[in-house]
């Protein structure tokens, strides 16, 4: 049996793991039983390399957890609150939160880009197909049984006394081994026709097959044309899920071939697949990034402004994200102009201009900007700057007696900007500048010893950064994660080095 504590720590991204712990602590402080559920547990069990969003179930009220998170604390803050700006995975603030009283569920979007949904454990009593059910608070076991498929009906306890315990009352683990998708009861597609789409999408993504009975129930649902009976909310959720797929064009084409796409929205008869393919190509280079907004933008590219706005409101629930989605093109044009102006003459100026921008805007420019000046600056920011940040001599400074804190951050900031602008090129120059900024004298040279036989060729000075030696092919270089590039902070620095960095792993309602 798998050790889910180990799986969570090793398979979730550090940013996701941080959110799991943060929410688990909040639930524990409120005295609530709390579980990781749904797709994340399925993907941990199946060993998927990237786990997208996190769904949690709580025996009790999710609003309590939300309120706990919204109370100002050093590690969970809202933008604009006083205090040091969050600068790496350990620090995260609540970007946007949305409470849905109908489903007793809180959707939370963290500054690190992680999305989480915390729902009350519930039973769903359906009276009519396609109509929302009556919601009744329930235990985790009842909650798991109301879900769509057995492989999605597993939970991992996050209560401190039973953390890591897997609950799998319908043997979803067995289905994963058999690569099968099994609905939990005969009325599953009738109660919630959006499960027709969910099954097709999941089967395509994982390469799984519907189990025999499930296949029959599905046929019967299709014979009743239930795929056309989704509520607008279900349509929006399904479209959102498709746009979060690794290859949305593939899923959209499959649905279009079956004649089901317009059941999700009447305007989807004219999808621009080339644009979606372009974003899919970008996703290969940025596997940890959530390209949902770029996919949305590509999906609505051929539509009128009115149609775009309507679709955006249907699919995107967070107001900040909605605004960004609708203005990506305009913001990208503005930023391009600035990037080509005198405001961005030096690399450090470019850094100052780009670091407060939403990362998705930079990726948009990377996908679509035609000016090489814009492309080069964005590539430099995305690929080279993180290399410089990663090599800042934090440990060396500590070894010289500079303690973590504002002074160290100031020194690292200076070293960063000087490297960016080419004032520091080699590791010798870096070491010298570091000592001088820290107010530490150069070590006294050792007394001369008897000269040995000369080496044939003297080695050249080591550059401070291998990328200074020669231009790498930046497009082939691997980017670092979003979290290491959070905006508005001293570059690559963090306020306190007390918490050790964890090793990076590939990364409901």
Considering only 7, 8, 17, 39, the residue that binds ligand CTP (CB under 6 A) is 39
Distances in Å between the alpha carbon of 137 and those of 146, 269, 493? 12, 40, 45
* Nearest CB to ligand CTP, comparing residues 39 and 210: 39
Q: Which residue has the tokens 């870096």?
A: 430
Residue with smaller CB distance to ligand CTP, 116 or 354: 116
Question: Least separation, in Å, of the C-beta of 151 and ligand CTP?
Answer: 8
Residue (19 or 424) nearer to ligand CTP, CB: 19
Length of the chain: 509
Q: Is 362 exposed, middle or buried (0-12, 13-18, 19+ CB in 10 A)?
A: buried
> Which stretch in 50-58, 280-288, 294-302, 443-451 sits in contact with ligand CTP by CB under 6 A?
50-58
Minimum CB distance to ligand CTP smaller for 151 or for 339: 151
- Residue, CB closest to ligand CTP: 39
Query: Which residue matches tokens 């129930």?
Result: 217
Return the sign of the alpha-carbon dihedral for residues 295, 297, 300, 302. negative
Which string of DSSP letters, residue by residue, matches 405-433?
A: THHHHHHHHHHHHHHHTTS--BHHHHHHH
Among residues 157, 246, 135, the alpha carbon closest in space to that of 509 is found at: 135
Which positions ≥6 away from 413 have C-beta within 8 Å? 490, 491, 493
Range in contact with ligand CTP (rule: CB under 6 A) among 73-81, 145-153, 320-328, 408-416: 145-153
Residues 168-197 binding ligand CTP (CB under 6 A) are: 192, 194-195
Q: How far is the CB of 484 from ligand CTP (least distance, A)?
A: 25
Closer to ligand CTP at the Cβ: 188 or 389? 188
In the region spanning residues 206 to 265, those forming contacts with ligand CTP, defined by CB under 6 A, are 241
507 belongs to the binding site for ligand CTP (CB under 6 A)? no
359 in contact with ligand CTP (CB under 6 A): no
> Considering only 52-60, 222-230, 445-453, 459-467, which stretch makes contact with ligand CTP by CB under 6 A?
52-60
CA gap 287, 274 in Å, rounded: 20
Tell which residue, 169, 124, 155, 153, has the closest CA to residue 24.
155
Q: How far is the CB of 198 from ligand CTP (least distance, A)?
A: 6
Nearest by Cα to 22 from 81, 96, 89: 89
Residue 290 touches ligand CTP, criterion: CB under 6 A: no
38 binds ligand CTP (CB under 6 A): yes
Please, what is the minimum distance in Å from the beta carbon of residue 140 to ligand CTP? 12
| 209-210 and 105-110 beta bridge pairing | unpaired
Q: What is the DSSP letter of 426?
A: B
Q: What angle do CA 40, 41, 42 make, to 5 degrees?
A: 90
Q: Does 53 bind ligand CTP (CB under 6 A)?
A: yes
Residue 285, both tokens: 């280079």
Shortest Cβ 37–ligand CTP spacing (Å): 6
Total residues at the site for ligand CTP (CB under 6 A)? 16
Q: Which residues bind ligand CTP (CB under 6 A)?
A: 38-39, 52-53, 55, 147-148, 152-153, 192, 194-195, 198, 241, 508-509
């Amino acid at each position: 049996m798998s050790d889910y504590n180990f799986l969570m720590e090793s398979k979730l991204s550090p940013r996701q793991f941080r959110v799991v712990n943060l929410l688990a602590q909040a639930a524990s402080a409120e005295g609530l039983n709390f579980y990781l559920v749904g797709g994340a547990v399925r993907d941990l069990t199946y060993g998927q390399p990237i786990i997208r969003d996190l769904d949690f179930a709580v025996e009790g009220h999710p609003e309590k957890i939300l309120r706990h998170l919204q109370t100002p604390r050093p590690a969970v803050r809202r933008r604009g609150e006083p205090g040091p700006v969050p600068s790496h995975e350990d620090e995260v603030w609540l970007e946007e939160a949305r409470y849905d009283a109908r489903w007793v569920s809180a959707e939370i979007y963290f500054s690190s880009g992680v999305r989480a949904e915390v729902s009350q454990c519930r039973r769903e009593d359906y009276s009519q197909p396609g109509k929302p059910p009556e919601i009744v608070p329930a235990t985790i076991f009842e909650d798991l049984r109301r879900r769509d498929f057995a492989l999605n009906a597993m939970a991992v306890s996050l209560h401190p006394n039973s953390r890591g315990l897997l609950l799998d009352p319908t043997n979803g683990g067995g289905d994963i081994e058999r690569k099968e998708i099994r609905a939990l009861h005969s009325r599953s597609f009738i109660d919630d026709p959006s499960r027709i789409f969910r099954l097709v999408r999941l089967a395509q993504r994982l390469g799984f097959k519907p189990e025999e009975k499930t296949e029959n129930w599905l046929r019967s649902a299709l014979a009743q044309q239930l795929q056309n009976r989704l509520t607008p909310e279900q349509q929006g959720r399904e479209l959102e899920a498709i746009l979060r797929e690794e290859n949305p064009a593939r899923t959209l084409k499959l649905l279009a071939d079956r004649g089901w796409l317009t059941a999700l929205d009447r305007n989807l008869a004219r999808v621009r697949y080339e644009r979606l393919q372009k974003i899919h190509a970008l996703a290969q280079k940025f596997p940890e990034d959530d390209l949902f907004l770029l996919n949305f933008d590509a999906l609505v590219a051929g539509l009128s402004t009115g149609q775009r706005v309507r679709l955006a409101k249907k699919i995107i629930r967070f107001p900040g994200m909605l605004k960004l989605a609708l203005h990506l093109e305009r913001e990208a044009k503005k930023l391009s102009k600035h990037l080509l102006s005198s405001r961005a003459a030096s690399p450090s100026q470019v850094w100052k201009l780009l670091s407060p921008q939403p990362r998705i805007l930079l990726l948009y420019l990377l996908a679509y900007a035609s000016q090489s000046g814009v492309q080069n600056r964005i590539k430099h920011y995305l690929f080279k700057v993180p290399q410089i940040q990663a090599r800042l001599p934090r440990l060396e400074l500590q070894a010289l007696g500079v303690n973590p804190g504002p002074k160290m951050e100031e020194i690292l900031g200076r070293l960063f900007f000087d490297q960016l602008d080419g004032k520091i090129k080699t590791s010798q120059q870096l070491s010298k500048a570091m000592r001088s900024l820290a107010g530490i004298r150069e070590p006294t040279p050792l007394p001369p010893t008897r000269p040995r036989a000369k080496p044939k060729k003297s080695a050249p000075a080591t550059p401070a950064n291998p990328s200074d030696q020669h231009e790498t092919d930046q497009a082939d270089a691997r980017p670092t994660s979003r979290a290491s590039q959070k905006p508005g902070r001293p570059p690559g620095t963090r306020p306190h080095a007390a918490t050790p960095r964890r090793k990076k792993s590939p990364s409901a309602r």
